[in-house]
Chains A and B, each alone.
Chain A
């Protein structure tokens, strides 16, 4: 029987000829990633009684969640991580001047076709955009891998999500992701592998593909995955840290479910508070007054995202009732956006340009919301209290929607200005 892309990767990693959904395999991951939560993980690791990590070359630690440290407590956490990294000889450590972990994993060449990547962050589904198997796990589990080098994984059933058709002007990968999540729902793909296929996906940039795999977590998926192609290879050319081999799903692979979408009749979408699957056409949201626009995150903080916002805001001023915060997803992106004049345009329009990192996405610092605030965010979550205040509301949309909303002061349709 044929295997899906996810099954093939897990079979090879487990040194098995084939695996079937439901089967438990024990594997040594290609990489195990963690971020600021490494401070808590290293305490757990020490509790195991193991003195040295199993392999300091396979552990990746990236500081991104609260950078630079907003309080002494966070600063001490960062300090303990830096000390642990030195003590254990962990080579793949990226400090506060690098970027958001899911972006850094791609840029620094860890996201490779065929790799098995696990990380202590639910959006570790992101590397699937490169044809890797990648899933989020908990902190104790990361500590256990540091100690033993092993993790058990249940081979998930696969869903195929096939998207064909040309995306209309003003409609982006984020709108497609929200549309799919609104349709499949937050629990619609719990434990499943979702494999994105079709012409629309093939025509997408790597950055846009990452939006889909990043947001796979929001339908409950274990992993999201896209077959690697020549675009993937071009991206990895001077980045890949290891030899990799591109794998393909078998023609006769079995998928538990198949969803098909036509991108050509999509419209911009908004996820209303307080769940990501509470998705409507933008028409229903138009006119809702917004206090803060948040452009950035591991979902939509890449160059193409900042660029479309700059295209909309060039030579204009944002509405004075709106605070617009821009967080490029990494310093590589920051520099590229700076070189192209994008940051300057956004600053001229009245946006506050922040340092790369997670920013206020998880509500710990750098732009948390006031009581009664409404925020239009390009992030992947709008749960109650997510941005630090349960008495505020978060609406999710594309970077283009974010920019035009900042301009008008209320949720607006980007097709009117593009």
Chain B
């Protein structure tokens, strides 16, 4: 179970992870400490393992920088639920093993900050315990699910190579 961090439309990669840090190779902890720095400075201080992000349209637009996904993953975010994702960001989520779930506008609107929520990736179920409702989404298809389960595409290829 985790709490909801609620954000709006068109949140771009520069406010999720500033460009000035993009070409530094950082530890996970350092990366997490800059997560959402220019949008919500309280996030990095208060986020807990298992929390989820619920956002509006076009989450993660802008740069292709993967740290904009990685910094949230290493900060403890378990899933990002949005009305839509920018396309590179969506691919980066899958390839880093962070589930990106798309819901309709009306369903997104049902979530508020700090709601307590369970996300079942395997079966495609989101349960909001604070407001007492359940939403179903189509589980990821085979290959994509395999990548997510492996923890990302690099880990997935590594498993394939190791098993050969």
Whether A74 sits at the interface, judged by CB under 8 Å, is: yes
CA A222 – CA B89 in complex, angstroms? 11
| CB atoms of B61 and A220 under 8 A apart | yes
CA A364 – CA B17 in complex, angstroms? 13
| CB atoms of A388 and B62 under 8 A apart | no
Whether A237 sits at the interface, judged by CB under 8 Å, is: no
| CB atoms of B92 and A77 under 8 A apart | no
A379–chain B nearest beta-carbon distance, Å: 11
Closest to A391 in B: B38
List which A101-145 residues lie within 8 A (CB) of chain B: 120-122, 124, 136-141, 143-144
Whether A65 sits at the interface, judged by CB under 8 Å, is: yes
A383–chain B nearest beta-carbon distance, Å: 4
| CB atoms of B25 and A190 under 8 A apart | no
Given contacts A49-B161, A138-B64, contact A222 B154 (CB under 8 A): no
Closest to B87 in A: A191
For chain B, which range describes its interface: under 10, 10 to 19, 20 to 34, or 35 or more residues?
Answer: 35 or more
B55–chain A nearest beta-carbon distance, Å: 12
List which A387-418 residues lie within 8 A (CB) of chain B: 388, 390
Given contacts A138-B88, A140-B96, contact A385 B66 (CB under 8 A): no
Name B154's contact: one of A121, A140, A275, A384 (CB within 8 Å).
A140
Give the interface centre of B15, B66, B86 by most chain A CB atoms within 10 Å: B66
Given contacts A140-B152, A187-B57, A383-B12, contact A49 B64 (CB under 8 A): no
A24–chain B nearest beta-carbon distance, Å: 9
CA A309 – CA B141 in complex, angstroms? 52
Question: Inside 8 A of A275's CB, which chain B residues have their CB?
Answer: 10, 12
| CB atoms of B15 and A385 under 8 A apart | yes
Question: Inside 8 A of A191's CB, which chain B residues have their CB?
Answer: 87
| CB atoms of A140 and B66 under 8 A apart | yes
Task: Fill in one digit per residue for B27-49: 1 if any A CB lies within 8 Å of its CB, else 0.
Answer: 00000000001100000000000
| CB atoms of B20 and A362 under 8 A apart | yes
For chain A, which range describes its interface: under 10, 10 to 19, 20 to 34, or 35 or more residues?
Answer: 35 or more
Main secondary structure of the interface of A (DSSP, over half): loop
Given contacts A383-B12, A385-B20, contact A138 B91 (CB under 8 A): yes
Question: Inside 8 A of B157's CB, which chain A residues have their CB?
Answer: 48-50, 144, 147-148
Name A50's contact: one of B18, B96, B152, B161 (CB within 8 Å).
B161
| CB atoms of A187 and B9 under 8 A apart | yes
CA A48 – CA B150 in complex, angstroms? 12
Which residues of B does A touch, CB under 8 Å? Answer: 9-10, 12-15, 18-20, 22-25, 37-38, 57-58, 61-66, 69, 84-88, 91-92, 95-96, 143, 152-155, 157-158, 161-162
Known: A187-B57, A191-B87. 18 other contacts (CB 8 A): A39-B25, A43-B25, A50-B157, A66-B23, A73-B25, A138-B88, A140-B92, A141-B153, A187-B61, A187-B86, A190-B87, A220-B61, A362-B22, A363-B18, A363-B19, A383-B13, A385-B15, A386-B19
Report 21 cross-chain contacts, Cβ distance below 8 Å, ordered by A residue.
A37-B22, A48-B157, A49-B158, A74-B24, A120-B64, A124-B64, A136-B64, A137-B91, A138-B96, A140-B95, A187-B9, A187-B61, A187-B84, A190-B58, A362-B20, A364-B23, A384-B14, A385-B14, A385-B20, A388-B20, A390-B18
